[in-house]
Structure 1
């Protein structure tokens, strides 16, 4: 899989209304999306009508927690939790909308959240 251009990354940032963290920008330079275990979309594709654009429109919904005004959503864990980066705190998060404003996991980078999700799936599969 090939990445997308810097110009396309900038267009994507304009479409979602937020800058992407550096590790996400780097991943897009390598690959247009990033699938994890069970084909979960750890990083949504950067297409015009892609998940990343539509998921970031969720911030306009009345139910979306007001505590996350600077959250940029980039992917999911395949089980209902979303992966994002909160510019207000400078932290990457794993968050399930059903939990309101409660954050499941917080790390210094999106890459660390991706690693957390992958390791969690590997731990579960070893237990089976």
Structure 2
């Protein structure tokens, strides 16, 4: 399991590099994984009261990875209706459509937002 405690904005790029190194045969799947990780990181920073940690690891289901991001705001993320005129607010809509499953769990200090994404080489 790849784990990063209290990552900063540069940690998103570092996370993408780490995932690409660990999953060299999964280039197409990495785009979905990167998008989900990036959206969760951005939401934690903008709406979550501060990022507390991120984890990416294998699931019991072959060919999938689970992404988890902890932040300090207990409010659940919201999937906004598609609005072609909006400049922002599409992130969770994309997560909802690209992830195999996603959800939110209270963690005592805020919440953990998680998603299961396809990954042909789930070796993280």
Using the size of structure 2 for normalisation, the TM-score is 0.31
Structure with greater proportional helix content? 1
Structure with greater proportional strand content? 2
